[in-house]
Amino acid sequence: MARRNHTLAQLKESYLFEEIAKRKARFPQDQLLNLGIGDTTQPLSAPVISALQEAAAKLGCATTYTGYENAFGRTLLREAISQKIYHGKISPEEIFISDGSKCDLARLQQLFHPECMVAMQDPSYPAYVGATKISGKERIIFLSCTPENQFAPDLSELPQIDLFYLCSPNNPTGHVMDHEELKSYISIAQKNGAIIVFDSAYASFIGDPSLPRSIYEIEGSKGVALEMGSFSKMSGFTGVRLGWLVVPKELYFQDGTSVREDWMKISATCFNGASNLAQAGGLAALSEEGMKTSRNITEYYMENAHLLKRSLHLPTYGGKNAPYLWVDLGGKSSWEVFEQLLCDYKIVTTPGVGFGAQGEGFLRLSAFAQREHVEQALHYLQRL
Ligand SMILES: *Cc1c(COP(=O)(O)O)cnc(C)c1O
């Protein structure tokens, strides 16, 4: 008899969004104001659309048709990411193109021993816990990130950690780490011989030039960190699917073997390369014109964040250099206020408790909403 992966019984990964969908479904007649979206809403830029059309046309012609590509990604795209995102500080051979960060997160579990001690921020993106548990790692430490500690947990009392997940700008709190904070994690990782998985999905929302957009801006990080990058929020590729993983050449396991070499084995075994269409689109997104359009769209979202932040009377964190706002409900429960906003004003939000125990008492508001929804919702949110 086939035995179930017993860790699946502990997973509540889809609970949050299913529960929200169920509660929304009670109002089929109403136009809901959706501030709960963790997805992009603005259309793709013109250069990306042309590149996708052109790539599709090539596939329809016998002389230009192509099939499988390099499993690690197109050289041109790896070079473009090296130049445009990392200003040449990360070499193209250290950049592995993927079908998105969530997929990388699942695959990279296989790099690590199941007995690894894993640390992650609480609250955090639910897939970190999910992917960790599915892969059989059961030793997880949650680092409380709350307004009381300025979302920067005290690291001095930590036991031996092998693997850290860090996300900055953070989903859901909108907290952005500065150089000092990132440095403190890097020195802990160096002391522990740990590896940091740094999620930079929202790096393009950082407007303040003094804040790090990549962990590799901090000295010594190439010896301790992997970085996940994604076109999803940067260029509206949530449906197109394209991302990358940086695996530096100087990153080694405790036994002295190369993480990058093992990553190549895993990629070659579990992945056949990102879609040729998505990669053509990604190259266009990194062109000058593509990047300019993406910046305009990011500014549109950040104007939403600014409108929300300015109008709320409740203590609100994030929303600066990050597309999420984290609202402190002053002791009320996340689901209670979620329900009140939905029933009374038809506003959809995301209950903070869905991102971890420390998220109880908070709501996440998303700047990915349509401007009209933000403007209408503001009238009501001001009364909170
Ligand atoms: C949206 C998001 C991603 C991007 O995931 P993809 O699979 O690349 O779409 C990664 N990390 C976090 C925290 C996110 O919110």
pLDDT tens-digit readout, 93-103: 999 999 999 99
Ligand 1, atom 5: nearest CA belongs to which residue? 101
Number of continuous H segments (helices) and E segments (strands) in the chain: 12, 13
> What separation in Å is there between the alpha carbon of 153 and the centre of ligand 1?
23
Ligand 1 atom at minimal distance to the Cα of residue 98 = 8
> What separation in Å is there between the alpha carbon of 309 and the centre of ligand 1?
23
Q: What is the mean pLDDT of residues 21-39?
A: 92
Residue 62 in this model has a pLDDT that exceeds 70? yes
Ligand 1, atom 12: nearest CA belongs to which residue? 201
Residue 10 in this model has a pLDDT that exceeds 90? no
Tell me the pLDDT of the chain averaged across its residues.
Answer: 96
Q: Percent of the chain beyond pLDDT 70?
A: 100
Residues with CB under 6 A from ligand 1: 38, 100-102, 125, 167, 171, 199, 201, 230, 232-233, 238, 243
DSSP per position, 72-104? T--HHHHHHHHHHTTTTSS-GGGEEEES-HHHH
Residue 12 in this model has a pLDDT that exceeds 80? no
Write the Ramachandran bin of 204: left for phi over 0, alpha for psi from -120 to 50, otherwise beta.
alpha
Three-state secondary-structure class, residue 295: helix
The distance from CA 349 to its chain's CA centroid, rounded to whole angstroms, is 18
Residue 346 tokens, joined: 């038809």
pLDDT interval class at 13 (50, 70, 90): low
Contact 291, 231 (CB under 8 A): no
pLDDT interval class at 297 (50, 70, 90): very high
Q: What is the mean pLDDT of residues 64-72?
A: 95
Residue 134 tokens, joined: 């599915």
Contact 291, 285 (CB under 8 A): yes
Three-state secondary-structure class, residue 327: strand
Ligand 1 atom at minimal distance to the Cα of residue 199 = 11
Q: Looking at the DSSP assignment, which residues form a beta bridge with residue 232?
A: none
Task: Specify the pLDDT at position 17.
Answer: 87
Ligand 1 atom at minimal distance to the Cα of residue 231 = 8
Residue 16 in this model has a pLDDT that exceeds 90? no
Is this structure's pTM higher than 0.95? yes
* Best mutation site among 37, 107, 125 for ligand 1 pocket (most ligand atoms within 8 Å of CB): 125
Nearest of 317, 305, 308 to residue 367 by alpha carbon = 305
> Burial level of 9, CB count in 10 A (0-12/13-18/19+)?
exposed
First vs last C-alpha separation in the chain:
55
Give the C-alpha separation, 313 to 168, whole Å.
Answer: 25
Per-residue pLDDT tens over the stretch 313-344: 999 999 999 999 999 999 999 999 999 999 99
Task: Specify the pLDDT at position 314.
Answer: 95
Ligand 1 atom at minimal distance to the Cα of residue 102 = 7
Give the C-alpha separation, 242 to 232, whole Å.
Answer: 7
> What separation in Å is there between the alpha carbon of 328 and the centre of ligand 1?
24
- Output DSSP code: residue 328: E
> What separation in Å is there between the alpha carbon of 232 and the centre of ligand 1?
7
Ligand 1 atom at minimal distance to the Cα of residue 39 = 1
> What separation in Å is there between the alpha carbon of 2 and the centre of ligand 1?
32
Task: Specify the pLDDT at position 38.
Answer: 86
Nearest of 357, 371, 360 to residue 337 by alpha carbon = 360
Q: How far are the Cα atoms of 158, 257, 258 from residue 250, in angstroms, in the given order?
A: 25, 10, 8
Q: What is the mean pLDDT of residues 144-171?
A: 96
Residue 108 in this model has a pLDDT that exceeds 90? yes
Task: Specify the pLDDT at position 199.
Answer: 98
Give the C-alpha separation, 285 to 281, whole Å.
Answer: 6
